[in-house]
Amino acid sequence: MDPARTLPPHLAEAARAHASGERTPTEPRLASTVVLLRSGDGKAGGLAAYLLHRHLGMEFAADMYVFPGGGVDPRDAGLDPELWAGPPVAEWAARLGCREEQATELICAAVRETFEESGVLLAGTASTVVDDTTGDEWEADRAALESRSLSLTELLTRRGLVLRTDLLAALSCWVTPTFESRRYRTWFFVAELPTGQATRDVSTESDRVAWLTIRACLTAVMAGEILMLPPTSASLAELFSARTTAEALAIADATPWEVIEPTFDLESETLVIPDRFVELGRKVLAQLGGGGDA
């Protein structure tokens, strides 16, 4: 099984329905997601990624393993520049291929959604990173962000923190195919788990979470043991060769920026994606050799 091109049966059925004219495409919503990584065994595929398994009842990506992420909050477009540390917004906009206001929204969404769905906060001072986000007060802030009763701007201001945008690296942008009932234009970022912080099983959209090696993830997907949307498995494949989190961030930074919108080929019943992902999939398959670990 090619994890970057093979669709689960229910999505293949939806693609066929769209091709026959039964479905009308919806406008994609802007979103961000973060490949949160921690150190592994020092070998290719050995880095561990934080993944959430979405409830079977979810309308989008049900029964799939996903990275922390979600839609933008328009309130964050007006983030005070003093709350921003790292590359300037203009530099991020150039990298992300969007307007500066949109770049601010996307970066804020990446940080906010990671905190909401894992308890990890990519913030601190200009030279330090928060090293502990456990405790009742932090949990109250996380829940308030999730309910949208608190904005990221308000959280940062009250706690005297700044957004550490330098902890993120942009990898790619994937647009949900037209046959999906819910569509997103999702920017994929990579980040290392900050020293001292720990993930927590707090997401209301998932029934379990796990740290799994990239090697184990891709092996399980190809064996049909777990489900992932193609952008998720393709992103892991792009980072497969990294032996350290620093190498993973460097790979993301060096990857030519690309907006990918897969289409569906009715004859082969696979997604049509850029050739480089097909070739990457072959290389990763060869390296895996049918094995894997958790």
Residue whose C-alpha is closest to residue 242's, from 68, 41, 2: 41
Amino acid, single-letter form, for residue 251: I
Share of the chain above pLDDT 70, in %: 90
* C-alpha span between 189 and 111 (Å, rounded): 10
Helix, strand, coil abundance in the chain, percent, nearest 5: 40, 20, 40
For residue 37, count CB atoms less than 10 angstroms from its CB and return exposed for 0-12, middle for 13-18, buried for 19 or more.
Answer: buried
Higher pLDDT, 278 or 49: 49
* C-alpha span between 263 and 240 (Å, rounded): 25
What pLDDT score was predicted for residue 218? 93
* Neighbouring C-beta atoms of residue 180, cutoff 10 Å: 20
pLDDT single digits (tens) 10-28 = 677 777 777 777 667 788 9
Give all domains of the chain, ordered by start, each with its CATH number.
9-288 (3.90.79.10)
**Of the ranges 36-45, 177-186, 203-212, the best mean pLDDT one:** 36-45
Half-sphere exposure of 150 (CA within 13 A, CB side): 20
What pLDDT score was predicted for residue 265? 82
Is residue 291's pLDDT more than 50? no
Q: Write the secondary structure of 14-26 as one string of H (helix), E (strand) and C (coil).
A: HHHHHHCCCCCCC
What pLDDT score was predicted for residue 292? 42
**Average pLDDT of 190-216?**
90
**Average pLDDT of 79-102?**
95
What pLDDT score was predicted for residue 78? 81
* C-alpha span between 274 and 284 (Å, rounded): 16
Mean pLDDT of the chain: 88
* C-alpha span between 123 and 165 (Å, rounded): 8
Helix (H) or strand (E) holding 125: none
Q: Report pTM.
A: 0.89
**Average pLDDT of 185-202?**
95
For residue 260, count CB atoms less than 10 angstroms from its CB and return exposed for 0-12, middle for 13-18, buried for 19 or more.
Answer: middle
* N residues, the chain: 294
In this structure, which long-range contacts are made by residues 276-282, counting pairs with CB atoms below 8 Å and at least 24 apart in sequence?
Answer: 277/4, 277/5, 277/234, 277/237, 278/2, 278/4, 278/5, 280/4, 280/234, 280/237, 280/238, 281/2, 281/3, 281/4, 281/5, 281/234, 281/237
What pLDDT score was predicted for residue 59? 53
Instruction: Tell me the backbone φ, ψ of residue 201, rounded to 5 degrees.
Output: -80, 90
**Residue 268 — very low, low, confident or very high, per pLDDT cuts 50/70/90?**
confident
Instruction: Tell me the backbone φ, ψ of residue 184, rounded to 5 degrees.
Output: -135, 145
Higher pLDDT, 75 or 4: 75
Higher pLDDT, 181 or 87: 87
pLDDT single digits (tens) 238-258 = 999 999 999 999 999 999 999
**Residue 1 — very low, low, confident or very high, per pLDDT cuts 50/70/90?**
very low
What pLDDT score was predicted for residue 293? 43
